[in-house]
Amino acid sequence: MNLPNKITLIRIFLVPIIMVFLLIRFDFGEIKIAGEMITYSELIATFIFIVAASTDGLDGYIARKRKLVTNLGKLLDPLADKLLISAALISLVEMQRLDAWIAIVIISREFAVTGLRMVAAAEGFVIVASKLGKLKTVTQIIAIVLLMLNNFPFNYIHIPLAQLMVWIAVLVTIISGIDYFIKNKQVIEMK
């Protein structure tokens, strides 16, 4: 159990904590800004989500730099990412800040690409994250943070940035998923 794997495990353990602060109504108080309410619980959840999301790049960087890449890390890292994003999306659907179909599209793409990677691994191939895949992750994280904050501070100046970022995230998610399948069609054709 090396440092990058410990960081990845921390990300996994933060997922239920984020959900608790998002979904359980603690009476910590709330802030009203430009007519929108944000609870302190939501602020705590958002902070923890940002910390967890930022560890994604950190664990991979440390693993590569210190030559600590392990099979366990290769398994846990994408699992941690999918758990974090899926849990946040499902929580936002429950909070009625995100349409369920959007969460389904994003989560379905994650399952599809994970399935493709599993098939490739069984054939001895490794499908590395593409630039589009990394862009997808960044757009999803930004959209989720803005939704968690109820579009703060952009609601104050009447810019629906959260909704715009959701649409960008969906578009990049779909395009990157198609891109993975096109670039790795030989894996499917082998079966």
Q: How far apart are CA 141 and CA 14, in angstroms?
A: 15
- pLDDT (tens digit per residue) in 1-15: 899 999 999 999 999
Q: How far apart are CA 110 and CA 106, in angstroms?
A: 7
- pLDDT (tens digit per residue) in 152-168: 888 888 899 999 999 99
Residue with tokens 């990412």: 81
DSSP character string of the chain: --HHHHHHHHHHHHHHHHHHHHHS---S-EEEETTEEEEHHHHHHHHHHHHHHHHHHHHHHHHHHTT---HHHHHHHHHHHHHHHHHHHHHHHHTTSS-HHHHHHHHHHHHHHHHHHHHHHHTT---PPPHHHHHHHHHHHHHHHHHHTTTTTGGGGT--HHHHHHHHHHHHHHHHHHHHHHHTHHHHHH-
Prediction pTM value = 0.91
User: 127 pLDDT band (50/70/90 cuts)?
Assistant: confident
What pLDDT shows up at residue 34?
65
- pLDDT (tens digit per residue) in 39-80: 899 999 999 999 999 998 888 889 889 998 887 887 788 889
User: Closest by alpha carbon to 37, among 124, 95, 84, 79?
Assistant: 95
